[in-house]
Structure 1
Amino acid sequence: MSTTRSLFRTTGVTAAIAFTTIAGAGTAAAHVSANPEQAEQGGHAKIAFRVPNERPDASTVRVHVALPLDHPLSSVRTKPLPGWTAEVRKVRLDRPVDVAGAQVTEAVSGITWTARPGTAIAPDQFQEFEATLGTFPTDTDRLLLPTEQTYDSGEVVRWDQPPAADGSEPEHPAPALALVEGDGSGHGHGSAPDGTGHDGHEDAAEAEPAGADDTARVLGGAGLAVGALGLGLGAGALLAARRKNGGRA
């Protein structure tokens, strides 16, 4: 009976740890993000803006991504998404800006995706909005891409906060794109446009399923770690009980 009680206690502790770990991971990952999170300076890349629906009683009907004008992007191409319309807004700059050796006088200020009736992001769902962006600047190592998420209830959630000074994540972090030094080819971390309206490496970029969610990988890793911890604790308790009883189970 002592051994059984010990094992039940161990199982209960393990279950509590598992619940806390998984719940915490889910909360931390529930925000708008740019994927991949890295691109090459001076190049282009296909970026997917991943938007989870966080409301249990409302659906997401509009997503607006603001692009920086202090580091302007002159080329933006959106990938068609069934049930959604995409609008790319361009503005003329007050003065030309040098981007990767080229003078840019007009830039894209933002992209807006709007759902047609019946195609909104419902509760417990997410959607990915893809676009090829470029040319990325060479004088900064990070771009913030503030995003507005609009629900059919009228609520607007702004994902526009930069990282805190101590490196911690704010409540509503803006999607961020890290820019790394390129190899001189002009290709981004994702794929570069080839002038045909398609990405130059479309097949390679599509090799990974678009629905492969980073959150699932985080939760899967947490589950494996917690499971291993539970097995170790259970085995230790059983061994200790056998020694106490003179080797009997």
Structure 2
Amino acid sequence: MSTTRTTLRRAGLVTAFAATGVLTAAGVASAHVTVHPESYAKGATDGVLTFRVPNEENTAGTTKVQVFLPTDHPVLGVLVTPQDGWTAKVTDTKLKTPVKTDDGTITDAVSEITWTGGKIGVGQYEDFNVAFGQLPDDTDQLTFKTLQTYSDGKTVRWIEEASGGQEPENPAPVLKLTAKSAQDGDSGAPTASAATSKTSGSSKSTASSGDSTARGLGIGGLAVGVLGLAAAVFAVLRSRSAGSRAE
């Protein structure tokens, strides 16, 4: 009886660790503030960026979100989509280096967007949509440093940049800018409607990809647990069978 209990106890521990792996993987998949889609063509025009902000606290809600846009490689023609329950404040900054466009020279650009008045509850997230007129074509990525403030006064600073291929603890949302392709057309970017559609689809696929990874890891962990339990049951049956033959 003692051997049987020990074997089953070990199998139970394996299953418990596997279940813990499922929860951990799911938590990692949705932890950070991110921007969607993950990439756009350099110089893309008339598109939408979606900043996804998950609430990570168990006892407080998110009440303020501040997104800082780069001014050394400015995003032009920024417009904020109205968000139920939230009020957006847009801050402009005079550019050190004006940007020449087909419509003239741009001397000012949006440097910060602050959302207040709403609340992201425990276990929830919010998508904040920002339309743009044109992305820069002289850089490979844009970093959007973000501050997330909670109802208990805590502020999480999503401002760290990756170094040495390792993701920092509080990474800033990063948009990759890729070389223009033939599919982007003469403007080097999708049309306004196509960009919006692409953004929505990419956002969903990004979240789905993270969830799929978490589910894959979870299924693998559960499989290990099931195999461990099966091995334990087999050992118990074999032990009993041996005892019967001995009698």
TM-score, normalised relative to structure 2: 0.77
Contact residue 31 and residue 173 of structure 1 kept, 8 A? yes
The structure where helix makes up a greater share of residues is: 2
Q: Which runs of 5+ in 2 are unaligned?
A: none
| Equivalent position of 2:222 in the other structure | 227
3-state DSSP of counterpart to 2:122: coil
Contact residue 95 and residue 107 of structure 2 kept, 8 A? yes
Supply the distance in 1 between the matched residues of 2:115 and 2:35 (Cα, whole angstroms).
15
Supply the distance in 2 between the matched residues of 1:97 and 1:207 (Cα, whole angstroms).
31
3-state DSSP of counterpart to 1:75: coil
The change in CA–CA distance for 1:212 and 1:62 in structure 2 (over 3 A counts) is: same
The change in CA–CA distance for 1:24 and 1:224 in structure 2 (over 3 A counts) is: closer
| Equivalent position of 2:136 in the other structure | 137
| 1:15-73 superposed Cα distances (whole Å, 9 cap, x missing partner) | 12331453265157422111222222111442221112233333222111111111111
| Equivalent position of 2:61 in the other structure | 59
The change in CA–CA distance for 1:201 and 1:176 in structure 2 (over 3 A counts) is: closer
Contact residue 38 and residue 178 of structure 1 kept, 8 A? yes
The change in CA–CA distance for 1:169 and 1:220 in structure 2 (over 3 A counts) is: same
2:48 to 46, 49, 62: 46
Supply the distance in 2 between the matched residues of 1:209 and 1:71 (Cα, whole angstroms).
23
Supply the distance in 2 between the matched residues of 1:205 and 1:75 (Cα, whole angstroms).
17
| Equivalent position of 2:147 in the other structure | 148
Amino acid across the alignment from 1:153: D
Q: Aligned-pair distance for 1:166?
A: 2.4
Q: Percent identity?
A: 36
The change in CA–CA distance for 1:133 and 1:3 in structure 2 (over 3 A counts) is: farther
Paired positions, count: 235
3-state DSSP of counterpart to 2:24: helix
Supply the distance in 2 between the matched residues of 1:201 and 1:133 (Cα, whole angstroms).
10
2:116 to 107, 114, 117: 114
Considering Cα pairs closer than 8 Å and 6+ residues apart, tell me whether 1 or 2 has the greater RCO: 2
State how 1:62-141 maps to structure 2 within 5 Å.
62-97=64-99, 104-115=106-117, 119-141=118-140
| Equivalent position of 2:170 in the other structure | 172
Supply the distance in 1 between the matched residues of 2:203 and 2:25 (Cα, whole angstroms).
26
The change in CA–CA distance for 1:99 and 1:153 in structure 2 (over 3 A counts) is: farther
2:27 matches 1:26:
yes
More displaced, 137-146 or 83-92? 83-92
Contact residue 32 and residue 175 of structure 1 kept, 8 A? yes
| 1:126-165 superposed Cα distances (whole Å, 9 cap, x missing partner) | 21111123522223222110001122333332211111x3
More displaced, 64-73 or 178-187? 178-187
Contact residue 18 and residue 223 of structure 1 kept, 8 A? yes
- Computed over aligned residues only, the root mean square deviation of the Cα atoms, in angstroms, reads 3.4
The change in CA–CA distance for 1:23 and 1:41 in structure 2 (over 3 A counts) is: same
Supply the distance in 2 between the matched residues of 1:209 and 1:171 (Cα, whole angstroms).
22
Q: Aligned-pair distance for 1:220?
A: 2.3
Supply the distance in 1 between the matched residues of 2:71 and 2:222 (Cα, whole angstroms).
48
Supply the distance in 2 between the matched residues of 1:124 and 1:179 (Cα, whole angstroms).
31
The change in CA–CA distance for 1:98 and 1:170 in structure 2 (over 3 A counts) is: farther
Contact residue 76 and residue 88 of structure 1 kept, 8 A? no
The change in CA–CA distance for 1:169 and 1:55 in structure 2 (over 3 A counts) is: same
| Equivalent position of 1:196 in the other structure | none
TM-score, normalised relative to structure 1: 0.76
The change in CA–CA distance for 1:187 and 1:151 in structure 2 (over 3 A counts) is: farther
